[in-house]
Amino acid sequence: MSLHTLGWNDRLQALFESHRPLGLEPARVAREERDSYRVLHAAGEIPARIAGRLRHQVSSRIDLPAVGDWVALRPSDGDGPALIEAVLPRTGVFVRKRAGDKTEAQVVAANIDVVLVMMGLDGDFNPRRIERYLAAAWDGGAAPVVVLNKADLVADPQALVAEVEDVSPGVPVVCISASTGAGLDALERWLVPGNTVALLGSSGVGKSTLANALLGEERQATHEVRADDSRGRHTTTHRELFLLPCGAVLLDTPGMRELQLWADESTLIDTFPDIEALAATCHFRDCRHDSEPACAVRAAIERGALATERFESWRKLQRELRWLAGKQDVRIRIEKAAKWRAISRSRRFHPKVRRSR
Ligand code: GDP
Ligand code: ZN
């Protein structure tokens, strides 16, 4: 198995240099189980565990290996699993709240380049929700592409496409039918070798249908992998990282599918650049855009330059973020913001994939 087909590149090569003299080998995490991992390595898919040293080193769960991570692996010298001794620096992470009282972040996916934000053109259609998913994609350090699915169910999708383009400035919007295959070729420019792609969207929008269409005939082979477990028995495992026939890597995990919005306030600027720009010109710096004099936001609504629904949706997201921020473990919040803000900013202006409209 070639690591390059899984996204290995010069950046990772340079990051790995310090591990090589220690006898470690690079691998990518394909699946996380309760206490063990399946990793993809030059020798194929093998079982692995976290080395004790790494477990003691990390200051938070966020730093433990997750699906999509590149790791430094100590190969097994016998029957046991290989040991993950280090996690290479990530280009981004998707995190969610862990079930239970304590609000602690859990990484559901790492190193995603492109997120296909899916929405159905049927009853699921709701441009407001797109804004939430775009915010999540930026926050995870990935470039979003909006994929409007089930085009076969509507006579004229163009009006709906235009509505989505209004709420997603600068983000490509494509229209497809995952079940008939119509429009899938429009996704080719993002499904290129070396790119890791993930799907986001509500249940029922067609994520599985699209994943299967992209996997084509490889589907059975990749979904059901016969492998040797640590005791040498044959088992069937379910992988969450797939090499697509077109050469891109598809990351499809339950955690990614259930992703809850775990954004910080910087995402507001990514998702609502127009309102943020208006708000910056209000007379009062702490303007609440209610009834303050010389409020640029209200003025824009009154002259019809800003839709009331878009303003309400911005306010709702702001409220939720504030509520979430209050609940979040402060340390994680600070760590995460510091780590990823710079990355998502630089990627926004120099994305791997050129954005178009
Ligand atoms: P997921 O929950 O996002 O994984 O959604 P699924 O892929 O399971 O699809 C949900 C339902 O929508 C299934 O019944 C699919 O057959 C149907 N579906 C998916 N894509 C399309 C499409 O392009 N057109 C139509 N008409 N139905 C679709
Ligand atoms: Zn104002």
Encode pLDDT of 261-318 as tens digits.
Answer: 544 455 566 678 889 899 999 999 889 999 999 999 999 999 999 999 889 888 877 7
User: In this predicted structure, what is the pLDDT of residue 14?
Assistant: 96
Measured in Å, residue 354 CA sits from the centre of ligand 1 at 29
pLDDT at 162 over 80: yes
In contact, 164 and 80? CB cutoff 8 Å: no
125, 160 Cβ separation under 8 angstroms: yes
CA 285 to chain centre: 34
Asked if residue 232 has pLDDT above 60, the reply is no
Residues 69 and 52: their CA atoms lie apart, in Å, by 18
Confidence at 354, pLDDT banded by 50, 70, 90: very low
> What is the pLDDT at residue 341?
53
Range list of H helices, the chain: 10-16, 52-57, 127-139, 158-167, 207-215, 219-223, 254-257, 266-271, 273-279, 296-302, 308-327, 330-349
Q: From CA 101, how far away is CA 146, in angstroms rounded? A: 34
Which ligand sits closest to the CA of 293?
A: 2
Lookup result for tokens 């900013």? 345
* pLDDT of 231 over the 90 cut: no
d(CA 228, CA 233): 5
Q: What is the mean pLDDT of the chain?
A: 81
Reported confidence tier of residue 201, pLDDT bands at 50, 70, 90: confident
- Can you tell me the mean pLDDT for 133-157? 91
- Evaluate if residue 208 carries a pLDDT over 60: yes
**Phi (first) and psi of residue 275, to 5 degrees:** -70, -40
Secondary structure letter of residue 197 according to DSSP: E
What is the Å distance from ligand 2's center to 295 Cα?
A: 4
The residues, ordered by sequence, that sit 6+ positions from 47 with a Cβ below 8 Å of its Cβ are 36, 37, 38, 39, 81, 82, 227, 229, 230
Ligand 1 mutation pick, 133, 175, 179, 180, max ligand atoms within 8 A of CB: 179
Reported confidence tier of residue 258, pLDDT bands at 50, 70, 90: low
Shortest-distance atom of ligand 1 to CA 202 = 3
Q: Name the residue at shortest CA distance from atom 22 of ligand 1.
A: 150
Ligand 1 lining (C-beta closer than 6 Å): 149-150, 152-153, 177-179, 203-209
If one residue of 117, 209, 257, 258 were mutated to test the ligand 1 pocket, choosing by the most ligand atoms within 8 A of its CB, it would be 209
Q: Six-digit token pair at 199?
A: 């799907």
Question: How far is residue 207's CA from residue 197's CA, in Å, rounded to a whole number?
Answer: 12
Q: Which are the contacts of 220, defined by CB distance < 8 A and separation ≥ 6?
A: none
Which amino acid is residue 340, in one-letter code? W
Question: Tell me, what DSSP letter sits at residue 167?
Answer: H
Residue identifier of the C-alpha nearest atom 26 of ligand 1: 150
Distance in angstroms (rounded) separating the CA atoms of residues 312 and 329: 28
Contact (Cβ atoms closer than 8 angstroms) between residue 6 and residue 49: no
Q: How confident is the model at residue 349 (pLDDT cuts 50, 70, 90)?
A: very low
Q: Are 133 and 86 in contact (CB under 8 A)?
A: no
Q: Within 13 Å and on the Cβ side, how many CA atoms surround 152?
A: 9
**Distance (Å, rounded) from C-alpha 339 to C-alpha 263?**
13
